[in-house]
């Protein structure tokens, strides 16, 4: 990954400094502090080159569309959330501030634009609670639930609460108390309840990420809300998304044997990006991670990795790092980050599904064929 100084970026863009800063604030160019001078910033070369190419003239629509799929311009309008000036906003409210006191139920009320807080109570529990049970619960509900088409929003909000209730029954202890308390009780770590509450709120929504886009595409067909959540779960399971915290395991093990500096240096010498550090949408660091890490005593090895990683790469820990640290701090199940992620993000998936239903349109991109053509004789 290459970085440019402000002068280099401006030379390639051919713009004024104000335009460069505006592109950073809008998430079009990723910036980070210059390790040699923290008063200055460096700018991601790939982002600068992409914007510079646009100034050379109007490009074919197929190229614009292709770039839009990979961290490009927004492809869908939404009033649900955005990342602006390093702030994650839920319908205009700072998610970090919301996480100080709110529960996932309160976040759902805000994100769903509901007049009442949804009821996620569930008296049943899976025989073997966990991610596998969550998939089974959503698959069964998706196969039997009503489609969204032609149904009043008030009825769909009832469906939404039922979907999260089913999901919570597959992951957490039964009950009517807040979901973070039910998770803590399920894992027999009551002292983890407040950090879990914060994590659930911070992870509830994050703009048009891969799993949210998958859920929104499903919702655009008129499928049940449970089907949209099932699509989100499928996308979330990938190592580049909801399972990213698992990539910390090897780094932690190596740091315990060699020390944080040596472990990170060895990883970087292999040519890979440091797992769970940095985020393209946050120029100054993932605010969600800093908030969650401040909610508990971070294990020493994670604290050392955080400091060494920022010193050696200029990137700060992201939310996946914080989830891995929380799991280690409280002795939670190894897949706790994915379970927390899934339960929290189901609220965001449903918010986008409800918004997509209101548009009444099908999301159906075109493909650019690159395969063989028939022979012309």
DSSP 100-137: TT--HHHHHHHHTT-SS-----B----SS-SHHHHHHH
**Other C-beta atoms lying within 10 Å of the C-beta of residue 352:** 26
Grouping H, G, I as helix, E, B as strand and the rest as coil, residue 242 is coil
DSSP category for residue 58: P
279 is catalytic: yes
Grouping H, G, I as helix, E, B as strand and the rest as coil, residue 19 is helix
Write out the two tokens for 247.
Answer: 């990539």
Cα–Cα distance for residue pair 118/165, rounded to 1 Å: 10
**Catalytic residue from among 47, 159, 286, 320:** 320
Q: What is the sign of the dihedral through the CA atoms of 113, 117, 123 and 126?
A: positive
Buried b (16+ CB within 10 A) or exposed e, 180-211: bbbbbbbbebeebbebbbbbbbbbbbbbbbeb
296 φψ region: left (φ > 0), alpha (ψ -120 to 50), beta (else): beta
Centroid of chain to Cα 305: 22
Write out the two tokens for 123.
Answer: 């008296």
Distances (CA, A) of 38 to 4, 220, 231, 311: 14, 45, 42, 11
Given strand 31-34, what is the order of strands in its sheet? 3-4, 37-44, 31-34
**Catalytic residue from among 180, 267, 279, 352:** 279
The size of the chain, in residues, is 377
Cα–Cα distance for residue pair 34/273, rounded to 1 Å: 18
Buried b (16+ CB within 10 A) or exposed e, 18-42: eebeebbeebbbbbbbeeeeeeebb
| Residues recognised as catalytic | 279, 320
């Amino acid at each position: 990954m290459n970085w440019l100084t402000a002068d280099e970026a401006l030379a390639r863009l051919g713009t004024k400094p104000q335009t460069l800063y505006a592109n950073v604030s809008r998430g079009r160019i990723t910036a980070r502090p210059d390790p040699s001078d923290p008063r200055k910033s460096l700018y991601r070369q790939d982002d600068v080159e992409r914007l510079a190419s646009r100034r050379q003239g109007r490009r074919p629509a197929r190229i614009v569309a292709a770039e839009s799929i990979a961290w490009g311009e927004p492809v869908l309008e939404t009033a649900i959330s955005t990342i602006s000036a390093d702030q994650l906003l839920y319908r205009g409210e700072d998610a970090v501030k919301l996480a100080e006191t709110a529960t996932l139920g309160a976040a759902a009320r805000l994100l769903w634009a509901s007049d009442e807080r949804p009821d996620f109570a569930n008296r049943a529990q899976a025989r073997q609670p966990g991610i596998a049970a969550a998939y089974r619960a959503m698959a069964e509900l998706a196969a039997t639930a009503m489609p969204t088409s032609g149904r009043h929003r008030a009825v769909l909000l009832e469906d939404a609460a039922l979907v999260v209730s089913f999901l919570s029954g597959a992951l957490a202890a039964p009950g009517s108390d807040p979901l973070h308390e039910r998770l803590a009780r399920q894992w027999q770590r009551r002292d983890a309840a407040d950090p879990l509450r914060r994590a659930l709120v911070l992870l509830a929504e994050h703009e048009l990420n891969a799993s949210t886009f998958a859920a929104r595409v499903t919702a655009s067909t008129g499928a049940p809300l449970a089907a949209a959540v099932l699509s989100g779960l499928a996308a979330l399971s990938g190592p580049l998304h909801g399972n990213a915290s698992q990539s910390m395991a090897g780094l932690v093990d190596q740091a315990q044997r060699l020390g944080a500096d040596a472990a990170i240096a060895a990883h970087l010498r292999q040519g890979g990006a440091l797992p769970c550090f940095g985020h393209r949408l946050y120029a100054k660091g993932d605010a969600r991670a800093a908030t969650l890490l401040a909610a508990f005593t971070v294990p020493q090895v994670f604290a050392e990795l955080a400091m060494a990683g920022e010193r050696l790469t200029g990137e700060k820990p992201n939310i996946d790092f914080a989830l891995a640290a929380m799991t280690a701090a409280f002795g939670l199940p190894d897949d706790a980050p994915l379970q927390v992620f899934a339960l929290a993000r189901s609220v965001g998936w449903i918010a986008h599904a409800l918004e997509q239903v209101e548009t009444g349109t099908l999301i159906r991109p075109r493909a650019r064929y690159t395969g063989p053509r028939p022979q012309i004789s």
